[in-house]
Amino acid sequence: MQKPRESIYKRYVPTLIAESTDSPAYWFVFLTGTANLLLNRQDGLAAIPSAAKAEQLGFVPVRSLYIGSLEGSPCYAVEAPEGTQPTVGTDFHSLRTLYERMDEDLFHLAGRALQMLNWDATHRFCGRCGTALADARYEHAKICPSCGLSHYPRISPAVITAILKDGKILLAHSARFPNKMYGLIAGFTEAGETLEDCVRRETMEEVGISLKNIRYFGSQQWPFPNSLMIGFIAEYESGEITVDGEEIAEASWFGPDELPNIPPKVSIARKMIDWYAEEYGTPSQGTP
């Protein structure tokens, strides 16, 4: 249903081992304990710092992880120590503020880098026996040398749903949304659930209605902190909107020509709402 975007793997190859350690590389640098990304004051790929060694960027890394190659050049996820000051011509930016300003592939690759750094920082010891973990040789994982337990990067699946009724879409406002923004019903999948069951449960819990004809729309990785957003379109079946008062403060049906403030364009929520507006809006009249 979603118009496919060109795969990031046309530009990026997620290999495990760098072929060369001396050639210039792209460095996705995050400040310790934050989602603040170091960028050059340039646009596109030129915004990502490039150097042969991270130390050439003005700091000694806390950790550095090879994450593959981008357009033939090595890429690293790097954690800069607390207090690192950007060099001339660079600045730290919150990754959350960049998803309308940054090339979508680069945003997602920066998200991958951030998640890998967080995983590396929080998986130093085995959760079963407490032994220090070692890197796996053939995949992105850590292996316990004592008990053999494998530890993989954590990914948390979450569903997000565009609910339709009589040509209108259900949009909801959470108290944590800025600028009176309205979005779609979403939530994390629980143990033992299918994605479709999660769609039904989250919708009933948050706005009190039942759904039918649930169908897949598309997906998007979301690195805050480690989500995989899976989008669905569903049709209203029964019930009256009753917000839970916790996750959702307000919810209502909106037509394509009366949409409130909605999420930014890079988010899958916005892509789904834009799809709805295009499908159900009034066709524009061309000049005869």
- Binding residues are 96, 126, 129, 139, 144, 147, 152, 186, 202, 206, 220-227, 247, 269
Helix (H, G, I), strand (E, B) or coil at 190: coil
Q: Which residues are annotated as a binding site for substrate?
A: 96, 139, 152, 220-227, 269
Helix (H, G, I), strand (E, B) or coil at 150: strand
The one-character DSSP state at 281 is S
Residues in the chain: 288
Q: Which residues are annotated as a binding site for a divalent metal cation?
A: 186, 202, 206, 247
- Number of Cβ within 10 Å of residue 114's Cβ equals 23
Strand partners, 164: 169, 235
Helix (H, G, I), strand (E, B) or coil at 224: coil
Burial of 181 (0-12, 13-18, 19+ CB in 10 A): middle
Cα separation of 218 and 272, whole Å? 9
Residue 274 CA, distance from chain mean position: 19
Q: Which residues are annotated as a binding site for Zn(2+)?
A: 126, 129, 144, 147
